[in-house]
Structure 1
Amino acid sequence: MLRSVADYPMAGYHQGIHQPGKFHLMTFADSEREGHDRHVPHRHDFFELVWLRTGSGRVCCDLEGYSFHANSLLILSPGQVHAWRFTSETQGQIVGFSPEFLAVNSEHPGLLAKMPFLYPEHLDPILYLDTREGERIDGLFAQLNDLAQVPAPGRDDVVRGFLLVLLSYMRQLYAHREQLAPRPRHENELLVQRFRLALEEHLPRVVEVGEFAELLNVSRTHLNNGLRRFTGRSASELIHERMLLEAKRRLLHSSLTIAEIAYELQFQDPSYFGRFFRKYTGVTPGEYRGTAQHEALAS
């Protein structure tokens, strides 16, 4: 059954550093909490950077599975369902942070909105590092851990600064992997960034294009035109795409009935949810659940 961060007690945080609503920092081993089974699919309402210095296994992120080994770096986003399987002892570090801690919101997306790996769509959430890259990440985590241990004025700023360095370095690593050439800034890029962050913040409570336009303080026409010029898709298409991902998450990782999932995603009628799902996938929610769960068990 799918679990959320609220299902777990916070007792394990005393072994690291935990600033509620801001950030936490701990070793991978210390992150084990009482009653927390990493093999059970679960999700958080914060970001986590997981530095896997040693070990091996497999991690499920939403609808895909990824093998990991020594010198792997994983980014987990709010709402992203994940579960772990280990084939050897794993050591490393975890730093988690709330979107608010780095002022990640639809009004002021800032630097983080330029980092597509934070809300992965076409990029894998895991980076496999060579020895030099791994040493650099290990050094950054070591410095972050040392400086964050000092409960002095300015600690939050120190942690925030190191997080930005880590994330900026990851941005470079992803660019290198994808061989992305620098491109000029598009006039609609900021609007697209703000819209994507608004989707993460407000879906499924907000599902109407007009409501998102109001949140972003633009007209519905301006929002649709800007999104189409930059992504080739309308606001409605992007909302449906994100709703479909959330539906697949629940079908694969939860024991909720199809009707319960429909109501959670603000569909007034489960039959309409079924038609919506089939329109975009070619199968019913029940057919998708059966096939996806069978494939997950076989992997």
Structure 2
Amino acid sequence: MNNAMLRVIPSYALYGDQAQPGWKNSFDFEWIPQRSGPYNWEIRPHVHEAFIQILYLTQGSVEVLLDNAKWRVTAPCLLVVPAQTVHGFHFAADVNGPVVTATQRPLESLAALAMPELLQTIRKPAVISLDADGRHAEALMPLFLAIEREARLHAIGQFAAGMSLLTALFVQVARLGQARAPAPLAVSLRKTAQIEKFRALVNDNFKKRLPMAFYAGQLGVTPGQLSRLCREVLGTSSLEVINARIVHEAQRDLVFTSSSIQQLADALGFADEAYFGRFFRKHTGLTPGEFRTRALQSMLKPDTWPAAGPEAVAAPG
């Protein structure tokens, strides 16, 4: 993003703390009141560039923002906040429950080896309402407490043990949320690794508007093979993967920055504002200005927030 862009969303490692570099492997455990209490239960919108968070509300309620959508939910529930997701919380004063923050890339690498389909759960923001008596929900707190013990231990292998426990925790999250999507296709580790490299390349280069031949060349395949690989593993074409990343970034910047549409178009590599407008409308059904107006209006009306959104589901027992 160029210097003309006026960002209003801060980036933290933990809310209020200076952001750590993405290459610094770490995980942290807290209880929700530890961080939110000193801020009067209000965690304003911010982003973690390299860190994923998972919150388990065992008591109380929360109004939660994930990118440009809001929910109001009560305990027990799980909140999954992947890296680069704008998020904020307004907790009730009686809230309680654990929070784990960890470097996302190593977690993804471990998941890719142990259970490739788990990557979808790790990367997707989610609000999951729980049945406290459900058989999968019963496994959550022991895992959170084991992660807490490991975080406090400061012993050899601490990070490896923490990542292993966090992987087990996300297996439970996947089981709890399994009702919201069909079972993913089993794919080979080689294909998963190729997709991971492609997604990383897209994340690093999507603003440059590079041709598909660039990405295919980096993977040692043809553009047609890359698109077929994406359809097999992700269920969408390689071009749609790139376009979805651009749209996501555009939506985030429209809501959380004061930049003009022209500045946004420039930062995202579009030749002009009109071309960007046509692209955005094709993929969202709205012009950039319409999207910004509607999103900001909806965020100012908490009475219109859904009790459960498209990623908020009642977990099976």
State TM-score, norm by structure 1. Answer: 0.81
Question: Residue 129 of structure 1 aligns with which residue?
Answer: 130
- Deviation track 1:84-139 (CA, whole Å, cap 9, x = no partner) reads 2234422111111112333539xx9434641212222xxx6022222244442112
Aligned equivalents of 2:14, 2:58: Cα separation in 1: 28
The answer to whether the 8 A contact 1:61-1:82 is kept is yes
Match for residue 154 of structure 2? Answer: 151
How far off its partner does 1:273 sit? 1.5
Name the counterpart of 1:190. 192
Is residue 27 of structure 1 aligned with residue 28 of structure 2?
A: no
In 1, the alpha carbon distance for the partners of 2:243 and 2:78 equals 30
Shift of 1:166: 0.3
CA contact (8 A) 1:188 1:230 kept: no
- CA distance in 2: counterparts of 1:182 and 1:42, whole angstroms: 31
| Equivalent position SS for 2:155 | coil
Q: Deviations over 1:180-228 (max 9, x none)?
A: 4586548996378426742674253554323332343432221012224
In structure 2, the CA distance between the partners of 1:91 and 1:200, relative to structure 1 (3 Å rule), is: farther
Q: Which amino acid aligns with 1:101?
A: P
Q: 5 Å matches for 1:9-88? A: 9-10=16-17, 20-32=24-36, 38-45=42-49, 46-88=51-93
1:284 aligns with 2:291: no
- Once the two structures are TM-superposed, the CA of residue 69 in structure 1 deviates from its matched residue by 1.4
- Mapped to 2, the partners of 1:211 and 1:131 lie a distance apart of 49
Closer, same or farther: CA 5–206 of 1 in aligned 2, 3 Å: farther
- Does the aligned pair in 1 maintain the 2:27–2:100 contact within 8 Å? yes
* Percent of residue pairs bearing the same amino acid type: 26
What is the TM-score with the length of structure 2 in the denominator? 0.77
The match for 1:110 is 113
Q: Give the secondary-structure state (helix, strand or coil) at the position aligned to 1:110.
A: helix
Change (3 A) 1:250 1:51: same
Moved more, 68-77 or 209-218: 209-218
Contact 1:56 1:68 in 2 (8 A): yes
| Alpha carbons 1:206, 1:212 under 8 Å: kept | no
> How far apart are residue 44 of structure 1 and its match?
0.8
- Asked if the contact 2:108/2:122 (under 8 Å) is kept, the reply is no
For structure 1, the residue ranges without an aligned partner over 5 or more in a row are 14-18
Q: Which moved more, 1:250-259 or 1:149-158?
A: 250-259
Alpha-carbon spacing, 1:23–1:237, altered in 2? closer, same or farther (3 Å): same
CA distance in structure 2 between the partners assigned to 1:233 and 1:103 by the alignment: 20
1:238 alignment partner in structure 2: 241
Pair 29,197 (structure 1): closer, same or farther in 2 beyond 3 Å: farther
Post-superposition offset of 1:48: 0.7
The answer as to whether partners of 1:258 and 1:285 remain within 8 angstroms in 2 is yes
Check whether the contact 2:47–2:83 (CA below 8 A) recurs between aligned residues: yes
Show structure 2 runs of 5+ residues with no match: 1-7, 305-317
SS at match of 2:46: coil
CA distance in 2, matches of 1:277, 1:154: 46
Q: Distance in 2 between matches of 1:31 and 1:168?
A: 26
* Residue 202 in structure 1 maps to residue 225 in structure 2: no
Change (3 A) 1:30 1:217: farther
Whole-angstrom CA distance in 2 between matches of 1:30 and 1:211 = 47
The structure whose RCO (Cα within 8 Å, separation 6+) is larger is 2
Q: Return the alpha-carbon distance in structure 2 between the equivalents of residues 169 and 109 of structure 1.
A: 16
Q: Please report how far the alpha carbon of residue 58 of structure 1 lies from its aligned counterpart in structure 2 after TM superposition.
A: 1.7
Structure 2 SS opposite 1:204: helix
List structure 1 segments (4+ residues) > 6 angstroms apart after TM superposition. Answer: 33-37, 186-189
